[in-house]
Chains A and B, each alone.
Chain A
Amino acid sequence: MVYGVLRLINFAHSEIFMVGGFAGFFVLKYTIGSSTPTGISSVLLIILGILAGGTAGALIAVLLERVAYRPLRKRGAPKIAYLISAIGASYFLLNLAAKEFGRIGQSMVQPYTDHPVFTIFGAPVQMYTLIIFIVAAIMLVGLDRLVSATKLGRGIRAVAQDSETASLMGVNIDKTIALTFILGGFLGGVAGFLYAMNVGVLYSMGFTPALKAFTAAVLGGIGNLRGAVLGGVILGVVESFSVAFVDPAYIDVVAFAILILVLMFRPTGILGEQIGRAA
């Protein structure tokens, strides 16, 4: 998403993810206490966690944009400078979180009792899976609408296609880029919270998911929302099936091998790059 506008990978996305996870974790921890809530309060708590994660993610994203990207953009710095700056910022946040939140993983306070809801083809579907599915679907539709139908979305697409011309047409580039970061940060934060609900929080939790998210995005076609979904599904399925064939220690190698293969043979991804079109 952010990539589409800046034509740059946001290296700090893993940290946005991590911060989102932590924000959700702390908010739930202080609101829930020790008992496990049920019914309507569970739903509210999940929404609260999602909002906390998303807000924190968006906040960090804006700060990042301000500190690590904007000064470089103002100067028209070469690409490598952005990359280095982003890596530095990412590394900074990662280790600051390690210091402040400790280096031991914590499991998430559960806002609901996980249990199979129904079964498809004999496979039980857990509550957790269902929640993620619903949230992802809502976010996806929302984002798709936002980008293709609103004024902001049009601005984003315009900046992505040709930022100079866009600014001549009266699009405020700084504002648009900041909003894109907010949007991307919100989504990243929410994802971090959802991920943390299952596996808990840890300062380095963002690294592997971010690498995989990138793989999924490249697989589907960078800047192409539907492609990203397709890429994510394919990657997930391939990984799950490869468990049967490779040592579990090498699962991450599979994702990486896919990434290299895609980049070698079809760098535009399965559905093609669509920077600035349907974004």
Chain B
Amino acid sequence: MKLLGAVFVLSELTAVITGPPGNPTHPWIGFHGSIVDQASFLGLFNIQRWIAFFIYGLIVSGAVYVFRTQKQFIAQVRTAQRSVTSNKSVKITTSIATITLVVLLPTLVADPFWQNAMVSQIAVYVLLALGLNVVVGFAGLLDLGFVAFYAVGAYATAWCTGALPLPALFGVHLNPFYAIPVAIILAMISGIILGIPTLRLRGDYLAIVTLGFGEIITLFANNLNGITGGAMGTAQVPHFSVHVGPVNYVWGIPPVPYYYLTIAFVGIFIVAFSLLEHSRVGRAWTAIREDEVAAESVGINPLKYKVMAFAIGAASAGFAGVMTAAQTNYVTPATFTLALSINILVLVIFGGMGSIIGVVFGAVVIQTITMYLIHNPPAGYQPQDLYIYIGALLVIMMIFRPAGMIPARRRSRTNASLDSSQG
């Protein structure tokens, strides 16, 4: 009976979420439209929405129940999965197939919207998620202001290329390639500056402080008109270009060259971060995450390694900032919001904290869905509604699958405690 009630509440909630929006003068329109309006039930017949959603809810929960009772079946699938994934040749084949797919993707996807989305919304977000993964996944620090480092990277690019009201950093208007080291170094410095005072704090204080930091960077970007161009930002960031000897190439409006450039860097970051994960530093992070006191007692300096995690994560975000600034040509404070920070967090959580493959997977899947919703919005969908689903997804993941879709191997101990209730 209690279960039935829960199913009812959840399905009606879904009905409200997916229903039409309300407005402040008539607050009940949204609810009324979501609950009482007629909706076609699988195209068969029309029925009031609340009944339709209740039936969907019953079907889904029934399916989950049946699936859960088949424990033997699940166990079989799991062992089969394990034997397949631990097989070396399968691993190599999969990675080769993935790489081929990634390389060929622009030829398969011809739609300009999607080609653009692959760079600016998927590849760049993979970079951001990889960076946040170092902070949240490896070191176990919750950073809600990650977007600040992204902003630092983007503004550093604008600075180097002379797009800001400030005089250009080195006096000449450089092309964005030279901005990469500057952006990365500036982002790392800001990570260290933020990290040293705040990383001594407990996890929840850290979350609030980073949240505030993210907001403040946006505030500064908005108001320092003489330095950042204010709320309008700048729209004069040049494209990447190479002029070495006989090679003369300028990345332009078409997204495909940018795609390969970004993908190449994503590959570099993936390799670098996986090496890092299995290095001394990565092990130190794991130790701190699992038990800080114990880590300290075996001679690991927690603050040092935490700051390092912050700086390295920031570097990746700063780099993502360079890519975005150069590809879109403009930098405005409106890009760097709390919503974006949470968006990146969702990619990490969904894919699996601390798991590089998981994070890449999560970023690709979620961003693709997001882009799909923007490109072909279903009836009654507003772009801002996305955040409702993101919030719900965070809670759901934490309750049912806290280790993410592709859990990290190294987190086994945390995963065990995260998953201990699952049968």
Interface residues of A (CB under 8 A from B): 8-9, 11, 26, 67-68, 71-72, 74-85, 87-96, 98-104, 106, 201, 211, 214, 218, 247, 249-250, 252-253, 256, 259-260, 263-264, 267
- State whether A9 touches B208 (Cβ < 8 A): yes
Checking B201, B385, B387 against A267 with a beta-carbon cut-off of 8 angstroms, the contacting residue is B201
Checking A83, A95, A101 against B27 with a beta-carbon cut-off of 8 angstroms, the contacting residue is A101
B254 adjacent to chain A (CB < 8 Å): no
A95–B78 CA distance with the chains assembled, in angstroms: 37
- State whether B398 touches A81 (Cβ < 8 A): yes
Point out the residues of chain A lying under 8 angstroms from B216, CB to CB. Answer: 252-253, 256
B314 adjacent to chain A (CB < 8 Å): no
- State whether A99 touches B398 (Cβ < 8 A): no
Within 8 A of A (CB), among B361-407: 382, 384-385, 387-388, 390-399, 402
A34–B384 CA distance with the chains assembled, in angstroms: 32
Point out the residues of chain B lying under 8 angstroms from A93, CB to CB. Answer: 391
- State whether B209 touches A263 (Cβ < 8 A): yes
Interface residues of B (CB under 8 A from A): 16-17, 21-25, 27, 30-31, 136, 140, 142, 144, 197-198, 201, 203-205, 207-209, 211-213, 215-216, 219-220, 222-223, 342, 345, 349, 382, 384-385, 387-388, 390-399, 402, 414, 417-418, 420-421
Also in contact, A88 and B391, with CB within 8 A (given A102-B22, A102-B23): yes
B148 to chain A minimum Cβ distance, whole angstroms, is 12
Also in contact, A9 and B207, with CB within 8 A (given A78-B414, A99-B384, A102-B22): yes
Checking A103, A106, A249, A259 against B209 with a beta-carbon cut-off of 8 angstroms, the contacting residue is A259
A248 to chain B minimum Cβ distance, whole angstroms, is 10
A191–B158 CA distance with the chains assembled, in angstroms: 43
- State whether B392 touches A88 (Cβ < 8 A): yes
Also in contact, A74 and B421, with CB within 8 A (given A85-B398, A101-B22, A211-B211): yes
A11 to chain B minimum Cβ distance, whole angstroms, is 8
B283 to chain A minimum Cβ distance, whole angstroms, is 19
- State whether A78 touches B208 (Cβ < 8 A): no
A224–B222 CA distance with the chains assembled, in angstroms: 36
Point out the residues of chain B lying under 8 angstroms from A81, CB to CB. Answer: 398, 402, 418
- State whether A83 touches B391 (Cβ < 8 A): no
B286 to chain A minimum Cβ distance, whole angstroms, is 14
- State whether B219 touches A84 (Cβ < 8 A): no
A122–B18 CA distance with the chains assembled, in angstroms: 55
Given A80-B203, A94-B391, A211-B208, 14 other A-B contacts at CB below 8 A? A9-B204, A9-B208, A68-B398, A81-B418, A83-B207, A91-B390, A91-B394, A100-B16, A100-B21, A102-B21, A102-B25, A252-B215, A259-B208, A260-B197
